[in-house]
Each structure stands twice: as structure tokens, then as C-alpha cells.
Amino acid sequence: MTELVLDAFVTAVIAASDYEEMDRIYLKNRVRSRIGEEGLDLPAHQADLIALKDQLVEIAVANSKIQDSMAAKDSLGAELMDWITPSPSQVNRYFWETYPQSKEDAIADFYALSKRNDYIKVKAIAQNIAFEAETPYGSLEITINLSKPEKDPKDIAAAKLAKASHYPACQLCFENEGYQGRLDHPARANHRIIRFDMDGHDWGFQYSPYAYFNEHCIFLDSQHVPMAISRKTFERLLTIVETFPGYFAGSNADLPIVGGSILTHDHYQGGRHTFPMEVAGLDQAFTIPGFEGVQVGIVRWPMSVLRLKSENKGELIDLADHILESWRSYSDPAVQILASSNGEAHHTITPIARIRESKFELDLVLRDNQTSDEHPDGIYHPHADVQHIKKENIGLIEVMGLAILPPRLKEELKLVQHYLLGQVNGVAKYHQEWADDLKTQHPDLSSEEESQEVVRVSVGNIFARVLEDAGVYKRTEEGQVAFRRFVTSLGKSKS
């Protein structure tokens, strides 16, 4: 016999939390207060806790307990899942009691909780379209991001009329923990942050709700302070990969155009994933005078990357800081590289840290945010002819070889596939030239599978071109000679 939805939800809550059978009546009454009286005697559609939560949210809409909007549904859903989520102090106590026995278990348990309580949107993430495409730089990863929902038009309209709020100051602030949410700010009632000390300063560790890769997480400053790449960045990233074994840690750049989406709050991203850039080999190895204990190489990659590797953490940090300071003031007009113009600084670094083969490793990606009349979006930004696929900033994740492409491409790429098979007469205007070129190159396609493969390979190669556009030293003889000039200057400029 199918269990009624209210009973099934409460049974699942008891099974997944510290609540006990004695708490059943209490829990049922608390659900009634939020959902309403009608509809709770309906049969449960599924036994899964998150599915039961979703069913209760729809009942609340039918009972007019909440508005039929995405923001209201998310807010109530997070509140219901908060009942299976221990308090922040309990979550932290369990994490740090487990950590001395097994760092891996402490991390794994927190990750499991973040999925179990629907903070990590596992069901939504599964909707993403993901594939790999072979390119001259190896196999690149492509994701069409369908997990993060587009804003509800009703919420957008209501938010325009709502009183402005600046609490929390941004979506990365600690104040998000337990926040009910509002029309223009996500619900975080079921959100938890692991606190940890980094050089005497409080930092947090949390997972990304709409993860782009395995165990995608965020390390965030407890204070709402702007991002800044400095020696401290390298120190912190290496501390993080020591503290959280098996994870990489990296930072977006700290300048507009080449930076990430949130530059107002200092944070890093990490996770348990091997990106294409990590497995890329070296074009050339160097030793920088004065830093003989650090292996240095130019990575065989479309962007301009120096890989530093050493068992000596301190010397590695010293060299990374030296490269950062040198790059900030380095110009080479012969290849359109300028440290600054009109009083505006152009140079910074996107750093990525990991521990590999018992050595500390830092990949330093050189960035330049100049613009020009020809490239108003950025000289080292996806150029106009590839923006039909990717026009957004190239942040940390893309730098490492994982393309995060917009949802519009789901249907647009299908249409291109149909065009190649002669099933439609045209595609989106900004794709037409590309589609015509593909049709000329592949005139005899006869199946959906063939056309999909052609389109996906082409998308992968366009993404490689996007990364080449973002590379400050081009993959030409002239560009690579100029790159080596910069590397040589590192030895000369060391005091």
C-alpha cells in the first residue's frame, strides 16, 4: 500500500536525521504549518526524500501557502530540507572530530550531507549536456549548462517592486548560512559552511550548489573583502591543497574581463577533478637563476601557462610571487603586451595549485585585459567570430579546459545538426556561416549520430580557439619566442 505523502516525508526525515520516532507528531505538525492542511493525504509519488520535498512544495502552492514562483518554491524547499541538516556547530564539530582519524572521511561525509539535503542540486546537474572533444591540445571538456535555472519572469517583475536589501552582501558571505532567501537572492536554509583557520584568519569551505565538476567546492574568506592576487594567494592555495587532500585549488584573476563573476569577495574554487590542462605536457623546461630548487616549464596549452613544481613549498611561493610581480610590470609592445595604459593596470595571473607525486605544483596562467577598437570586449578574450559559441569571460574553469557553455546551445546545436542532414533550411543567424562551412566539409552525412559528432568536434575546436584568443603569447613561432623572452627576464630581474 502506498504511503501518504506527509507520512512518507516524515519517515524519510527521521531516517536521515537525528530526529526519532517520538518526534513524528511534532514533525507532521511543523510540516502542516508550512504546507497547509489540504493534500497531505495524497499518496506519495516516490519514496525519495528530495522527491517528497518537491511534492510537498507543489501542495503548498495549491494551498496558497506560497506563491507559484521559483523563488518561493526554492525557499520552502530549502527550509524543509533544513530539518535533516544538523546545525552549523554540529556539522563543524563532526567534521573536525573525524578529520584527525581520516581527512578523506571528513570531506566525504560533508559532501554526502550536501547532496543528501539537496544543497547540491544533483537532479538539476544531471540535466547538463557534457561531452569531450579531441583537439590539438588533447581532449577538451564541453558542458552545456542546463542545471542553474533561468530567472523566473514573475520573480524578476516582483523584485523590481521589492525594497532593496544588501544582506547578505553577496552570495559568498558567511551570512548566507541559513538565510531564507528572497526574490533576488537564493534560499540557503539548508546551507552549511565548514570553518577552518588559514594563517590566523577564518575561512570557510562549502560546495557549489550547481557543480560543474566532481566535488566542485568553494573556499571563502569570512570577511566580505575584494579578490586580490598576491603572495598570500599562493600561500593560501598551497595550504588548501594540503588541508583537503586530493583537491586542486585555484583562483580567478582579479581584473575585469579576465576575472571571474564575483570579484567583490575573496574566494577560491576547488574539487576532485583532473582537468585537461593538468595532464598537458611541457613544451620546454627551464631553471630560473636563484630558484634552482623549482622546476619550471611552459605548458603545451592554448593559453600562456608556466608550471612550477617543487618539494620546497617556501621556494615555490617565492618564485610564484616573483613571476607575479615581474608580469605586472612587464611589457613587450612587439607582441601587443602592455603592463598598463592610461593609468590602468592590465596584467595579473590565474593560479592553480595541486599536489602531484608528493610535490607541490602551481600552474600560473598569464592574463592581460587590454581592449582595442578591433576587440572592444578584450584583445585576450574570445574574438567576435567565435562568440556564437562562447562570448563570456574565460574564468578559472575554462582556463583549465572545461567549457561552460550557455543553455541556448542545447537547441541551437540540434538545429545545426539537422541543417547538416538537410532537414531544415537554416539556423540561427550567428551560426549560419559556421553551419555552411561544416556542410561544405561534410556533404555526405546520413545519420543523427554522424552530424552530432561533427558538430561536437567542431565545438571543441572552437573552444580551443577561444582559449588561444585568451592566451597572451600566441602558439606561433613569434609568440613562443616572446614567451621565452619573458621567462629569461625572470632571471635578470631578480634582485
How many structural domains is the chain composed of?
1
Quote the pLDDT of residue 165.
Answer: 73
Query: What is the residue range of 15's domain?
Result: 1-65
Q: Which helix (H) or strand (E) holds 344?
A: strand 344-345
The answer to whether residue 231 sits within a structural domain is no
Residue 355, strand partner residues: 360
Answer whether residue 382 is part of any domain. no
Please tell me the predicted confidence (pLDDT) of residue 160: 53
| Residue given cell 558538430 in the structure block | 455
211 assigned to some structural domain: no
Does residue 6 sit within a domain?
A: yes
What pLDDT is attached to residue 199? 86
Nearest to 263 by CA among 172, 194, 351, 327: 172
- Residue 87, helix vs strand vs coil: coil
Q: How far is CA 356 from CA 273, 282, 309, 315, 365, in A?
A: 13, 15, 9, 17, 18
The answer to whether residue 5 is domain-embedded is: yes
Would you state the torsion angle of the CA atoms of residues 212, 124, 171, 263, taken in this order, to the nearest 10 degrees? 30
Instruction: Please report whether residue 160 resides in a domain.
Output: no
**DSSP assignment string, 141-190:** EEEE--SSPPPPHHHHHHHHHSPP--SSSSTTSGGGTT---BTTB---TT
Report if residue 335 sits inside a domain.
no
Q: Is residue 59 part of a domain?
A: yes
Strand pairing class (295-299; 267-271): unpaired
Helices (H), 63-167: 70-81, 88-98, 103-116, 122-125, 153-161
The pLDDT value recorded for residue 494 is 45
Residues of the chain with pLDDT under 50: 152, 155-156, 493-495
- Report the predicted TM-score, pTM, of the whole model to 2 decimal places: 0.93
